[in-house]
Amino acid sequence: MNVEVKPTPAGSTLLAETPEIARVGVIGAGQMGNGITHVCALAGLSVTMLDVKANALERAVATIDRNMERQVNRKLISEDDRLDALSRIRTSMDYADLGEADFVIEAATEKEEVKRAIYQQLTPNLKPSCMLASNTSSISITRLGAATDRPEKFIGMHFMNPVPVMKLVEIIRGIATDEPTFQAVRALGEKLGKSTAVAEDFPAFIVNRILVPMINEAVYALYEGVGSVSGIDTSMRLGANHPMGPLELADFIGLDTCLSIMQVLYEGLSDSKYRPCPLLVKYVEAGWLGRKAKRGFYDYTVTPPRPTR
């Protein structure tokens, strides 16, 4: 256990212990949840991945296996690394199976009411020392932490997608988050091979505060007829040297997630520059959510994907 010596107001010293994390729980078996499970298992941690759907867990394990196989083929990890990591992963549909976890990260959909409902079911099953994090990309960590029985042990740990590839993790302290929790989670990020950026608890933090309004502006450019889907994406790829155009990126992220982040920004900062584009709203209402729905700003039922506008 790491120990940090901190001064007290009287000038004496107080030992503040940084908790060790060996057993991790991941709630959600979607794209983010299986990615977080993947990197935790490769880092030598025991991981229990929980979801309400058995078929989602089966798909997640198959995805992790497939992605690790790619890493073996690229000589990023060995076959023994892959087998050892897979042996450290358990799946469950029962919150009681997270009772021995040192740290649980929630990677559910970007809806506050869903996350709050999860915490209500989860926290009675956790040991008192267990730290809890959300992978939220925009929602207030202070507010989410206040919905739990352990706001001092609650923190934001926002991974980038795809988790096994992207090197950054944003760490966000709520107003109640204590120092040992912050230090433990920052150390966890480093153990996972990630670079960490500490963000203040403002709507959308750092990455999405900058990125998603750019995507929203690209949707406005499409909505107002400034350019076509292919024109906008080609312009940003070749003119700004972006690896992916903003509309293609929106499809990759999920248009529902982009809309949720813009709504959090608009409501949290009360600034009209964050107003979600009506066309983005319309696509989400139509169920055109991007790659995961096979249709967004591009139609993914054909190869290569075809712009829908």
Dihedral sign (CA 120, 121, 127, 133)? negative
pLDDT at 17: 78
Flag whether pLDDT at 15 surpasses 60. Answer: no
User: Per-residue pLDDT tens for 188-239?
Assistant: 999 999 999 999 999 999 999 999 999 999 999 999 999 999 999 999 999 9
Q: What is the pLDDT of residue 10?
A: 44
pLDDT value, residue 11: 42
Least confident interval from 1-15, 35-49, 196-210: 1-15
The residues assigned a catalytic role are 137, 158, 170, 208
Would you state the pLDDT for residue 271? Answer: 95
pTM (predicted TM-score): 0.86
How many other C-beta atoms are found inside a 10 Å radius of the C-beta of residue 79?
A: 10
Cα-based distances in Å from 167 to 45, 182, 278, 302? 18, 19, 33, 31
Contact 2, 183 (CB under 8 A): yes
Topology of the domain covering 12-199: Rossmann fold (3.40.50)
Q: What pLDDT does 16 receive?
A: 61
Q: Please report, rounded to a whole number, the percentage of residues in the chain having pLDDT higher than 90.
A: 92
Higher pLDDT among residues 21 and 10, named by residue? 21
Encode the chain in three state secondary structure. Answer: CEEEEEECCCCCEEEEEECCCCEEEEECCCHHHHHHHHHHHHCCCEEEEECCCHHHHHHHHHHHHHHHHHHHHCCCCCHHHHHHHHHCEEEECCHHHHCCCCEEEECCCCCHHHHHHHHHHHHHHCCCCCEEEECCCCCCHHHHHHCCCCHHHEEEEEECCCCCCCCEEEEEECCCCCHHHHHHHHHHHHHCCCEEEEECCCCCCCHHHHHHHHHHHHHHHHHCCCCCHHHHHHHHHHHCCCCCCHHHHHHHHCHHHHHHHHHHHHHHHCCHHHCCCHHHHHHHHCCCCEHHHCECCEECCCCCCEECC
CB atoms within 10 A of CB 261: 28
**What is the domain partition of the chain in residue ranges?**
12-199, 209-307
Q: What is the pLDDT of residues 148-168, one digit of tens each?
A: 999 999 999 999 999 999 999
| pLDDT score for 148 | 97
pLDDT digits (tens, 9 = 90+) for 70-100: 999 999 999 999 999 999 999 999 999 999 9
Mean pLDDT, the chain, whole residue set: 93
Is residue 4 predicted with pLDDT exceeding 70? no
- The topology under which CATH files domain 209-307 is N-(1-d-carboxylethyl)-l-norvaline Dehydrogenase; domain 2 (1.10.1040)
Query: Does 274 have pLDDT greater than 90?
Result: yes
Q: What are phi and psi of 150, to 5 degrees?
A: -145, 60
Confidence at residue 171, expressed as pLDDT on a 0 to 100 scale: 98
Average pLDDT over residues 2-30: 67
